[in-house]
Structure 1
């Protein structure tokens, strides 16, 4: 079974019902302070931590005095706008005493569906993590409509976990794991300690959302588990309402773990390797050698560019003889790549007229 303290990178999802008191609409500040202490504990052991947090609409509706019912879209967006600034401030205030810098990252479904935007958000999150920042990620409910939204933060958290290459995704829930039936209704319901494969029988056991504040239920958690584990990330459902919920999880609190067959790095490489290329770059011998030594592909090593492709599209990587040696996601369009091929990265801005990324294909976006 996986463990928090053996992970390199962890994503933690916090639901509205944990953050906001349903009766008063106010933030559960004391509980949040214990979560911040847990995050500091993990960071102190050298781990990267990303928090995917609901709560903006729940907080905003309390401030605006809106009823505890499903809100029309315009009211939801207004509540999110009011609540999001309070949510970000709350995280900043509880993590600052631990000398942890926070950042707010708001995303929509389009940011993962569009490859260019996906790569941009991935690069931003990776840079924040490299600087030791804890990113607070939420769906951008102020602009998201039904057509462009994840719909719940369980699925969003799984997508973020795959995006950043996390080892473990923690879904802090109002229940302590996945049960064969609703334990509130069936005393004989069995909790699973470990689920190695999500079978149709497991899916049939999942129920729907049970909280007026949260949108997710066990069905969405199973969807999240499928996404996370396919990306090489183990997932755990644990009870979040207790104080210091992450420490409690590490101390063998009841929970359900979903195992991953591959590590995140290998899973991502396999995903890229299965894509259909939309173009190709031909490299000199020095660049080929650099790639096999684990380096990114710089424009200086590119001899030729063929095909029509955009930023984020998969392209074939060829050696000097034209043999394909791998696939990668391009950080430039075909036209841009053709303009900068053979040039040093420091010359990119002068050639294109605007700043660009140093690598044409980053090593994390490449499968050899």
Structure 2
């Protein structure tokens, strides 16, 4: 039997929920799960990242996509999740597929211990022949602590499980070099550098939270972890296998041939910014060939309140992001260290330490292949 190969499938809300009735689209689910069965028979381990719970719950709480606020969407997610899972369960039963629900929050990706625990759960489900259906826990998340879109959530899941393939099913057949409504828009079949197309990706769907921009951000996260991404229309027969076989057109975002290690990928691919540093030219002069520790003497300025173990975004004096790294100190401890440069770090903090803000082993230089983050206004 062929070696098992993990594949992550992201399904948008507009495919799963009828836009007018806000009810499950069983016809689409039938085609999807039939194709999941086909992939499993070919040796794929399938993980679904499914939107739809908020859309399916809006009618129950008496709201529409246009009128719903944050608390309305949280309540709708709580109402819609049983409907979504029941629909998957009903259709999956026809094909002998067992499903499991995995609800995640931002912290499950950004905290490394929780990241590993989540990965172990997903792997155990796959070992048991169960299809994990993963979604953000929208009933409890707020804007400050949410992943924000299931495109990037799917990319983080792909990174987590070491997937080689990520298929993002959506309402269009892929990426265009400008708004597809433009008569001169050209379809883009293959992408290596997603940054070339970010300006052409504004807008989002009525039911979903992400547009083409989030799909390219997700593809960039995936390609840096060695995963190829396809962006494709979901409203077809065999929506998955025809993409992988090349039978219909889609946009293929190539995996980087030299992917980051699992540790470096976890550090480099962030969903939110915990904090940031502007550092001296000395600390950045050796990058990317050599990683040198960042010390308090290198820090020009700092932004954010963070804790030990958070990943910081590292900028040069011109506001260009150059690296990301794991902080050995809280933001308050760093302030104490930088405000007292002539006092021994052990004496200031009350415990023995080398005083390295970010160790060289925990620093990941960002090359041109990464999408960079703008510096916060406080340090730009």
Q: Give the TM-score normalised by the residue count of structure 2.
A: 0.67
> In the alignment, what sits opposite 2:371?
none
Aligned with residue 212 of structure 2, among 209, 218, 234: 218
Aligned residues, how many?
A: 272
Matches within 5 A, 1:68-87: 68-87=65-84
**TM-superposed deviation, 1:212:** 1.3
The separation in 2 between residues aligned to 1:9 and 1:63, in whole angstroms, is 36
Q: Could you say if the C-alpha distance between residues 71 and 273 of structure 1 is closer, same or farther in structure 2, counting changes exceeding 3 Å? A: closer
Aligned with residue 176 of structure 1, among 173, 176, 187: 173
> In the alignment, what sits opposite 1:32?
29
> In the alignment, what sits opposite 2:99?
102
Structure 1 runs of 4+ with >3 Å offset: 269-274
8 Å CA contact 1:193, 1:255 repeated in 2: yes
The separation in 2 between residues aligned to 1:272 and 1:174, in whole angstroms, is 30
Structure 1 range deviating more: 216-225 or 241-250: 241-250
User: Could you give the per-residue CA deviations for residues 61-93 of structure 1, whole angstroms, max 9, x where no partner exists?
Assistant: 123331231522211111000000111111111
The separation in 2 between residues aligned to 1:100 and 1:170, in whole angstroms, is 20
Aligned with residue 207 of structure 1, among 172, 179, 202: 202
> In the alignment, what sits opposite 1:41?
38
Q: Secondary structure at the match of 1:63?
A: coil
8 Å CA contact 1:232, 1:267 repeated in 2: no
The reply to whether residue 114 of structure 1 matches residue 108 of structure 2 is no
**TM-superposed deviation, 1:163:** 0.6
Q: Secondary structure at the match of 2:85?
A: helix
The reply to whether residue 141 of structure 1 matches residue 138 of structure 2 is yes
> In the alignment, what sits opposite 2:226?
232
Q: Could you say if the C-alpha distance between residues 7 and 218 of structure 1 is closer, same or farther in structure 2, counting changes exceeding 3 Å? A: farther
**TM-superposed deviation, 1:15:** 0.5
**TM-superposed deviation, 1:99:** 1.5
> In the alignment, what sits opposite 1:309?
none
Question: C-alpha root-mean-square deviation of aligned residues, in Å?
Answer: 2.6
> In the alignment, what sits opposite 2:194?
198
Aligned with residue 268 of structure 1, among 262, 275, 278: 262
Q: Could you say if the C-alpha distance between residues 148 and 270 of structure 1 is closer, same or farther in structure 2, counting changes exceeding 3 Å? A: closer
The separation in 1 between residues aligned to 2:238 and 2:266, in whole angstroms, is 38
Q: Give the TM-score normalised by the residue count of structure 1.
A: 0.69
- Report the structure, 1 or 2, having the larger helix content: 1
Q: Secondary structure at the match of 1:68?
A: coil
The separation in 1 between residues aligned to 2:5 and 2:258, in whole angstroms, is 11
The separation in 2 between residues aligned to 1:149 and 1:134, in whole angstroms, is 24
Q: Could you say if the C-alpha distance between residues 171 and 6 of structure 1 is closer, same or farther in structure 2, counting changes exceeding 3 Å? A: farther
**TM-superposed deviation, 1:268:** 1.9
Q: Could you say if the C-alpha distance between residues 202 and 98 of structure 1 is closer, same or farther in structure 2, counting changes exceeding 3 Å? A: same
Aligned with residue 130 of structure 1, among 122, 127, 130: 127
8 Å CA contact 2:39, 2:241 repeated in 1: no
